Structure 1
């Protein structure tokens, strides 16, 4: 009877130690215990002085934010989603879906990539810097962005409209990897591996070390108690 009673007493501990019931992972939002809860939308890290962060493709065919204001010497880091391939390719206001080349210089280009980050250094804040994603179909769907776009005339909204007017007629662009340099902003290197995102603190699964320790510790406690009971 002692063993039976102890086994019943241990059932709540087993439940608490199971990931299905939390076990240090946190219950999904809304109280659901299933794994089908939607993950929160990704967002770029907060900007710091002289450093702007732009999320690329994490929430659809978007750069977030799509237009930023930066000073000479500021860094702009593009953080790429690990799912759909994207690029950050410099273009012009008049031709938003074609890479910038010609007598005025060659634009920067991250190349088509996933799960990486790409940084440019703003060298001229007096003129707007235009860019787009050259993955087929993305620019014509509106995946464009700008730095220091004016508030009237050649605005970001008009640039976006230009891209959408091209639509499915956007040119097919081959990808041969990253292109350093740039006009108004300088890339000195191609994309680099991005750090793994921090686990979400709200809802869904959490793979943090604290969560694993909590679950493993609970299981170890149950195992030790069971061993003691049967040894008695």
Structure 2
């Protein structure tokens, strides 16, 4: 039994060390099969209230990584029908990134666990109702589109921030000279 645990931990450690954007855990509670693909999303590009890109197509095991530019942005998982409210207490929330100039020295990462659509928004003030929203794996055959999600948000009021960072990891920026 001990040798089986050692082999699993060795395999997990070598997988994690091959992908520098993940951090190793002593004993993983759930093993994520990572693909090695990281999708970068920029919050606040060119001083605008946008995520760029705002629509990502990702495989299970891909990492979504948000980079933050000035002003004060966050990312919160929501539902399509309630665009500026958190999905649940366990959905992802990055916390706020108050940036005055340049880019944050930290990023927020989430691993894609399934192929269901993921809807998200910025919880800073009226950023959500102003259109700072995004989607991962939108179902393009559905009437639940990113455009409709943004329309629903216009009437939603200010974004709501959960009480603590959850559902992802805040880590040092693995590429601080990227110029995003």
TM-score (norm: length of structure 2) = 0.69
Q: 1:138 aligns with which of 127, 142, 145?
A: 127
SS in 1 for 2:71: coil
- Asked whether the 8 Å contact 1:112–1:175 carries over to 2, the reply is no
Structure 1 stretches of 5 or more lacking a match?
1-47, 181-186, 201-232
8 Å CA contact retained: 1:150, 1:156: no
Report if aligned partners of 1:112, 1:177 keep a CA contact under 8 Å in 2: no
Which of 147, 161, 168 lines up with 1:157 in the alignment?
147
* Alpha carbons 1:56, 1:63 under 8 Å: kept: yes
Match of 2:9 in 1: none
Report how far residue 174 of structure 1 moved: 4.9
Pick aligned residue for 1:90 from 77, 82, 92: 77
Q: Classify the secondary structure of the residue corresponding to 1:53.
A: strand
**Against the structure 1 CA distance between its residues 84 and 49, is the aligned structure 2 distance closer, same or farther, given a 3 Å change threshold?**
same
| 2:38 corresponds to | 51
Q: Which has the higher helix share?
A: 1
Q: Tell me the C-alpha RMSD between the 2 structures.
A: 2.2
Aligned residues: 137
Deviations 1:132-161 (A, max 9, x none): 000111001000000011223111111111
Contact 2:123-2:158 at 8 Å conserved across structures: no
Change (3 A) 1:92 1:85: same
Question: Which of 58, 61, 64 is the aligned partner of 1:76?
Answer: 64
CA distance in 2, matches of 1:109, 1:199: 24
Aligned equivalent of 1:192, options 165, 168, 171: 171
- The structure with the largest strand share of the pair is 2
Structure 2 spans left out of the alignment, 5+ residues:
1-34, 99-103
Residue 124 of structure 1 corresponds to 114
